[in-house]
Amino acid sequence: MKARIKRFAIVHPVGHRPFKDRAELQYRDNRELAEQLARYCRSKWPMPQKIQVDVHAGHVLINGEHRANFSIHEHRGMRAPSERVGRNRRRIFLYAPLLILGALMFLAATADFPIINSAYLAGVTFLIAGAAGFVIETGQPK
């Protein structure tokens, strides 16, 4: 017995945009594929009409006339991002803003004369945290 194939189909009526909802398919052979697509097309064209699906040409025939095309696609599996991608995202979205924020706070506190106040200390803290993050990330063995 053959295994079931899981795919989805996008039906594109002639002269119109494709339907937003997709036909979820699980079939073993072309006969089952045609039956499931005909069932989906029956929901789109509900009048009592004769619906035929030409699997090889990718056409939907309603009362013998070509009314739509379809294409079959595989579902894309979502993978977790790689370690390198995660490291780059941390650098861009965590450590770089800490460095920038720290530099801005440090410069704002010491614009005229270097005065040690809370903004100065916060700026230095953010600068050190951002720099430490970059050092830790680049110091990891590959």
Domain residue ranges of the chain, discontinuous segments joined by +: 5-73, 83-138
Judging by beta carbons within 10 Å of its beta carbon (0-12, 13-18, 19+), is residue 9 exposed, middle or buried?
buried
Mean pLDDT of 101-127: 80
Contact indicator for 137, 87 with CB cutoff of 8 Å: yes
Mean pLDDT of 105-115: 74
pLDDT exceeds cutoff 70 at 126 = yes
Mean pLDDT of 105-117: 75
Report the distance separating Cα 65 and Cα 52, nearest Å: 9
Residue 45 is given by DSSP the state S
Q: Work out the angle at residue 57's Cα, subtended by the Cα atoms of residues 28 and 50, and round it to the nearest 5 degrees.
A: 80
79 vs 12, which has greater pLDDT? 12
Lowest mean pLDDT among 5-9, 15-19, 22-26, 113-117: 113-117
pLDDT in tens, 59-100: 999 999 999 999 999 988 777 778 888 888 888 888 888 888
Give me 61's structure tokens: 């025939």
